[in-house]
Amino acid sequence: MRIARFHLVALLLAWPLLAWGGLPDNAQGTGEHAPHWQPDPMHEYWDPGTYHRPEAESVEGVFKGEDCLECHAEATPGIVKDWRDSRHARAEPPVLCPACHGEDHQKLSFPTPRTCGTCHPQRLAQVEEEKKYGFPSHALAMERAVDSKHFADKPKAEVASCLQCHSVATKCDSCHTRHRFDPAEARRPEACLTCHSGPPHPDDLAYAASPHGQRYQKEGAGWDWSKPLRKGNYPSPTCAYCHMRNGNHQVADKAVWKFGIREINPHTAENAIKRKRWQATCADCHPPETAGNFFRQLDDERRTAWGSLQGVERLLKALRGDGLLRPAARERPPYPMDFMARLLPRERIGFYEGQASAFYNVGAIERDYFEMWYFDNLGAYKGMAHGAPDMSRRFHERLDSAARNIALQAKRLTALDGKSPSGKNVDLTPLWMEGEYTRFNRDHN
């Protein structure tokens, strides 16, 4: 039975409400700090399995897929066009709207990875398998965001954009645009570089600076992206070719240096297996000795980078021991989410002390070290890991420059010994414990 005309008119009138969905006003946060933050309306799209609620005042009725298409050809023609161009539409029988959204119009749902896994169980299993490797991984990206202290502590306007990328764990359309879900789109580097870009993860710079990326930029427009990610199908590898070899949706099984921000033992059994996988991928195009030489260069780069970082850490810890880091931990606002920071204030330096979660209420010299460790170090690692040694060299120059600058600051702090340049003792507590930002953060979070 076809949809009555008044149903179509009602849907068109209700569409603005349907498009925004039904996030309850009293919706609560998730993760370790769930009681301390509330989701914004966009969380319904970023984490649909947790936050999407059907619009109660939508059109009533249980409809077949053909009914959906007839109505939505008027209400959302672009969506229908994308579906008609998809493999779902060409399947036999076609995969129609109710398969993903349900048939009852008042109980419609946004698809989650588990929804997709109903028909694609192997791909869902591969994504879930990432969790055994820990962070970083797509499968744990949402958890990584909402479990961070600063996610609950900082004003939502400052952290909301994080979930545009971290929602890759909770929905598949981060890589496959809805409703077309064309694998050819996800195979192109742009699908990955939408998120893997910027100072915290400069993969876009690294790939563009590599011979692989340079060839893609020159020739990629003419490649046949409908081909699977298999040996011989592409003249030069892309992000997906290397990280999702043969279409495997498990992308954490070759990361030997944990994103470059954590010093690890590269010779553990786990890393030995990861290296073999990485080398096997390189062997699709290169002889084995090329991959072996690549790993020697990467290991040398990491040893050099961590030698520089550890030298600066020792310098900062010496300043801390002499009480010369200003403002001291007791002079600055502690994380509201961090009980130990209130009980035992301590300046945290480096990865293992947790500076990664304390980067916004630190002194200038600590912030400079954080940027050296997180931004310059990442650029150095990403360049070498993606076959762009010139980029790695440039970021090593930045590492060296940052280390020299921090050493000069340390010398100045030692000379001042807690005094201002005029020679007077300075109490920094009022400056850091009060102020517009601090008051807002304390009163609204």
Q: Chunked in runs of 10, what are the mean pLDDT values of the chain (445 residues)?
A: 37 40 79 88 91 82 94 94 95 95 92 95 95 90 90 79 91 92 94 91 95 96 95 94 93 86 84 91 92 92 95 95 89 78 86 71 89 94 96 97 97 84 77 75 66
| Domains in the chain: boundaries | 1-181, 288-444
pTM above threshold 0.75: yes
In sequence order, the 6+-apart residues with CB closer than 8 A to the CB of 148 are 357
Type of residue at 83: W
User: Exposed (0-12), middle (13-18) or buried (19+): which is 179, by Cβ within 10 Å?
Assistant: buried
Contact of 291 with 283, CB cutoff 8 Å: yes
Radius of gyration over every alpha carbon of the chain, rounded to an integer in angstroms? 26
Alpha helical stretches, state H, 23-147: 43-46, 48-51, 65-75, 77-84, 87-90, 97-101, 113-117, 121-129, 141-146
Q: Which single residue is written with the structure tokens 């940052």?
A: 402
Q: Which stretch of DSSP H or E encloses residue 390? A: helix 389-416
Contact of 111 with 48, CB cutoff 8 Å: yes
Q: Token digits for 432?
A: 């850091």
Question: Please, what CATH class does the domain formed by 1-181 belong to?
Answer: mainly alpha
Q: Token digits for 441?
A: 């953060």
Measured CA to CA, the distance from residue 157 to residue 153 in angstroms comes to 11
Given this model, what pLDDT does residue 20 score? 44
Measured CA to CA, the distance from residue 51 to residue 196 in angstroms comes to 26
Q: Is the peptide bond before 183 cis (omega within 30 degrees of 0)?
A: no
Contact of 387 with 296, CB cutoff 8 Å: no
DSSP letter, residue 335: P
Given this model, what pLDDT does residue 22 score? 64
Contact of 41 with 22, CB cutoff 8 Å: no
DSSP letter, residue 231: T
Given this model, what pLDDT does residue 187 score? 95
User: Distance of alpha carbon 111 from its chain centroid, rounded?
Assistant: 20
Of 154, 247, 248, 259, nearest in space to 202 by CA: 259
Calculate the alpha carbon distances from 72 to 8, 69, 225, 410 in Å.
Answer: 9, 5, 29, 65
Q: SS3 for 419?
A: strand
